[in-house]
Structure 1
Amino acid sequence: MTSQTASTAAAVPAAAQGSHMWVLTLEKPGRGMTTSHGTVTPPAGATRHDTFRRLLDYVISQNPQMSPGNCVFFTLEPNRL
């Protein structure tokens, strides 16, 4: 599974993106909040929970100060219009 956070406003071709778009917000009450987003292609047979846990681990690896934080928002949707 790959995941990425957007760092530029430039469009990435759809073929280079994952099958799903995600947004995850973590908060440490009184100490901070972070929101990450990107695209991901879950492996065959993965559940929504499996994907949430992998993305949560990814976001925490990128923002270690947010561990343990509260998840205040999570969405995982097919990456199509």
Structure 2
Amino acid sequence: MSSTTEQSNTEAEQQGTHHYVLTLDLPGRIAGSWQGTVTPGSGDTRQDVFVMLREHISESSPEFARANVVFFSLEPNQL
């Protein structure tokens, strides 16, 4: 195993178990996309993660609190 592969495995282990993409839009005003990784709790659902992400975005960017959801994806963070 090369050191590059070892480094990639270590970086992947530090990431969350799921990758998300969320795009919000206020028509005619502003749009934004967020992406990253998250590790849901053992009893969390896709809905729980979606609500958590919306709340997190609204806290840091209040203008998006009432934005339309254009796209949402939550997938296992693995190939």
Same structural fold, with TM-score higher than 0.5 when normalized by the shorter chain: yes
User: How many residues are treated as equivalent by the alignment?
Assistant: 71
1:20 aligns with 2:18: yes
Q: TM-score, normalised by structure 2?
A: 0.83
Partner Cα separation in structure 2 for residue 47 and residue 28 of structure 1:
26
Q: Going by fraction, where is helix more abundant, 1 or 2?
A: 2
The residue that corresponds to 1:75 in the other structure is: 73
- Aligned residues: CA RMSD: 1.5
Q: TM-score, normalised by structure 1?
A: 0.81
- Segments of structure 1 that go 5 or more residues without pairing to the other structure are 1-10
Partner Cα separation in structure 2 for residue 70 and residue 42 of structure 1:
24
Runs of 4+ in structure 1 off by over 3 angstroms are none
Partner Cα separation in structure 2 for residue 62 and residue 34 of structure 1:
13
Q: Give the alignment of 1:1-81 within 5 angstroms.
A: 13-81=11-79
Identity of paired residues, percent?
A: 45
